[in-house]
Amino acid sequence: MAGLFRKFWNPQKAKSSAQRRRMTWGGRSFERSLSSTGRFIQRQFWLWPLLAVLVLASIGFWVRRAIEQTMRDSLRSQLTTLLATETAMLKKWFEVQRKLAETMANDPEVRRAVYPLLGITDEADADQSAVLEAARKELDKSLAPELATAGLNGYFVADRQMQIVASSYPMLVGQQGIQPYESFLERVLNGASVVSVPFPSAVMMKDDSGELRTGVPTMYACAPIRDTNFRVVGALALQLRPEREFTEILQLGRIGESGETYAFNREGVMVSNSRFDEDLILLGILPDQPHVRSILNVMIRDPGGDMTAGYRPTRRRSEMSLTRMAASGVTGESGVDVDGYRDYRGVMVVGAWTWLPELDLGVATELDVAEAFRPLTILRRVFLALYVLLVASAISLLVFGLIVARLRRKAAKAAIEAQRLGQYTLEQKIGEGAMGVVYRARHALLRRPTAIKMLDVDKMNDTAIARFEREVQITCQLNHPSTVVIYDYGRTPEGVFYYAMEYLDGIDLQRLVDGYGPQPAGRVIHILRQVCGSLFEAHAQGLVHRDIKPANVMLNRRGGEPDVVKVLDFGLVKDVAAEHPSSGDGGLAGTPLYMSPEAIQSPMAVDARSDIYSVGAVGYFLLTGRPVFDVHDFSELARKHVQEMPEPPSKRVGKRFSEPLEYAILACLEKSPAKRPQTARDLANLLKKCPEASAWSLEDADAWWSRHERGESPSHDSASEASSVGPTPDAYSRTILSDGDQ
């Protein structure tokens, strides 16, 4: 630690000194971290099951994520492959139907029979009705073999005005402007061959049970009819039954027990049959009627909840929004979703979909999430069972640990109540704070009065123990007569942490001023020079006290010498030689009334000159009886420390002090550390040169202690009986107990 000062006084050695500090700090830091971690785990043995839970949870989470990602990738691949296969088969089937329609539309016999129906005939004087009737019969005869071979149900022929001139359904003849037909006839009359999307039939026709009714799902393969000049003069439409080959192709594509592939139109209506028609009837999605099918009867809309699990929607199906898949598909998009979305039953599914603009329909393949991720669910349950067992073990050990800790606390309290602490006999409690207690005690053999500071067994934790140990270790490094002496440190078998220090039967500077008012300038100089001696030793070892204040300086009569100063409470000391301070060094530390500007603005940057500022503030308080800035609002106090110059002591109290003394005090209180005395010894030398330095003699001090040890009241009005010199619980709670304890 002294390397910091060697760097300051010997710049040429700074580089090698800094390197040594980095190396030693790294070794010490690693050793301390390893040691403290080992002690913590050893004390908190119940943490092992929790650590096991965390490790297993991390492994389980990683394994689950890896398996889930693998399953997602596999699902994505399966869904897209299946969808690609289905769409390829569907496109092939549509192409076959188009070719069939084109072949039949271009058949010479069909064209010869159709031309009279379209007004293309050489028999101008013939009976038109007879000609048309003969043409229809010839057309029926020409198409009959092809219709039977291809498994087609019927046909119709339309002219350029979309009027039906011939059909296997007589009621259609003469009809014009039938809306379902217009959508594909317009494209055919423009020269394209088209296979329509399934739609409800406009005429009475037999359903798959043989019953005649309208609204039966149907679709047409339609091709243009051309004249001898290759001009489109009409259209031939061949009727297909979508629930046969069209639906059968789609139902070939499925994964697992819950997978299905289906087609939908631009309105988000299913145009193929679902695998789950019976289930859809039970769910109320399909009406409970004979021979009802899902084709053209199911709107692919999200009900808002899983209907298979009992959820019942509160809105009509037409008012519901499309499922995520359908909403994307009807806009012409293709996609894959393996995260899950609700289908038309409200069941969470994974799926892939595509829109086929040339067919004017979408195709989707879906699989229930529960089935898709069933292996992952099993794995999750296994890990959950392991977690439960480990957590139960951790709780059991925690309860056991709490019982053991409670027994140890009882044993520790019993030891204290028995007035025994190792080799020390406790005599009287002389101080108590939020975290610790101080007793007057005597060593069993030495019979020397001692002050014992111990941690409260009810409030003991790792932070408190670490700070307690740090305070002892740092104070033990210091040997100056004005630094409190540590005799012993230990931990009893009952688990009580304590250290023994010299017993101080004096008075701290806060009580001194509160009870006896501002002190003579000579006495103030005498006190501050001793404080400087203690701090110079600490600073030389690279330590900054960070909490110099009146309550942390005791004035005593020791070994027959009056006005002996003892600097206390090294619990907030910062090691400035450490290039990477511990977390405890990084926050705001100290007492606001006596903190330097840099301690407020940048606590990490404080050095020995910050303590010099605090010494100046203590001297100001001793001379005037008032703090440098006497405000109670912290933000205002901080602002004044950072920005405002203090009022000179002579002006503050209306009493003249020598110019060198006032200069020394105000120099300590400079805002810039560079303008202050650079070391505690520099400040001590400034104070030594003050005219008042010899004004307080040994006889004056003896007289004061003799007078006030007898309990004589001070002359000013603020005196009280409690002002007499001697150790009181209040004094020790303010001085021996650190800020973290109060």
Instruction: Give the pLDDT confidence score for residue 517 in this predicted structure.
Output: 93
In this structure, are 518 and 631 located in the same domain?
Answer: yes
In this structure, are 155 and 234 located in the same domain?
Answer: yes
Domain count, the chain: 6
Neighbour count for residue 679 (Cβ, 10 Å): 19
Nearest to 664 by CA among 532, 476, 469, 482: 532
Which of 503, 526, 553 is the endpoint of a domain? 503
408 found inside a domain: no
Kindly report the CATH number assigned to the domain that includes residue 142: 3.30.450.20
Instruction: Give the pLDDT confidence score for residue 192 in this predicted structure.
Output: 93
Nearest to 537 by CA among 501, 483, 582: 483
Q: For 23-43, what is the mean pLDDT?
A: 49
In this structure, are 633 and 717 located in the same domain?
Answer: yes
Say which amino acid occupies 335. Answer: G
Structural domain boundaries enclosing 280: 254-372
In this structure, are 567 and 521 located in the same domain?
Answer: yes
3-state secondary structure 619-649: HHHHHHCCCCCCCCCHHHHHHHHHHCCCCCH
Local confidence band at 102 (pLDDT 50, 70, 90 cut-offs) = very high
Kindly report the CATH number assigned to the domain that includes residue 593: 1.10.510.10
State pLDDT tens for residues 183-222. Answer: 899 999 999 999 999 999 888 887 777 788 888 899 999 9
State pLDDT tens for residues 138-175. Answer: 888 888 888 888 888 889 999 999 999 999 888 889 88
Query: Which residue is it, tokens 């942490």?
Result: 497
For residue 529, pLDDT beyond 90: yes
- Measured between alpha carbons, how far is 338 from 346 in angstroms, rounded to an integer? 16
511 found inside a domain: yes
What long-range pairs does 84-91 form, CB within 8 A, spacing at least 24?
85/253, 86/249, 86/250, 86/252, 86/253, 86/261, 86/363, 86/365, 87/354, 87/356, 87/363, 89/249, 89/252, 90/246, 90/249, 90/250, 90/263, 90/356, 90/359, 90/363, 91/356, 91/358, 91/359
Give the predicted TM-score (pTM) of the model: 0.50
Instruction: Give the pLDDT confidence score for residue 198 in this predicted structure.
Output: 93
Query: Which residue is it, tokens 């209506």?
Result: 269
Neighbour count for residue 178 (Cβ, 10 Å): 16
248 found inside a domain: no
- CA distances 559 to 45, 504, 505, 556, Å, are 49, 12, 12, 10
In this structure, are 525 and 657 located in the same domain?
Answer: yes
In this structure, are 659 and 514 located in the same domain?
Answer: yes
208 found inside a domain: yes
- CA distances 693 to 272, 430, 658, 661, 697, Å, are 108, 35, 10, 9, 9
SS3 604: helix
For residue 675, pLDDT beyond 50: yes
Which of 451, 475, 503 is the endpoint of a domain? 503
Instruction: Give the pLDDT confidence score for residue 17 in this predicted structure.
Output: 41
140 found inside a domain: yes
In this structure, are 114 and 58 located in the same domain?
Answer: no
- Has 547 been annotated as catalytic? yes
In this structure, are 577 and 669 located in the same domain?
Answer: yes
Q: For 341-354, what is the mean pLDDT?
A: 95
409 found inside a domain: no
In this structure, are 86 and 136 located in the same domain?
Answer: no
In this structure, are 648 and 588 located in the same domain?
Answer: yes
247 found inside a domain: no
State pLDDT tens for residues 444-463. Answer: 787 788 888 887 766 666 77
Q: For the chain, state the CA radius of gyration.
A: 49
Say which amino acid occupies 530. Answer: Q
Per annotation, catalytic residue among 302, 337, 343, 547: 547
413 found inside a domain: no
In this structure, are 499 and 511 located in the same domain?
Answer: no
In this structure, are 69 and 206 located in the same domain?
Answer: no
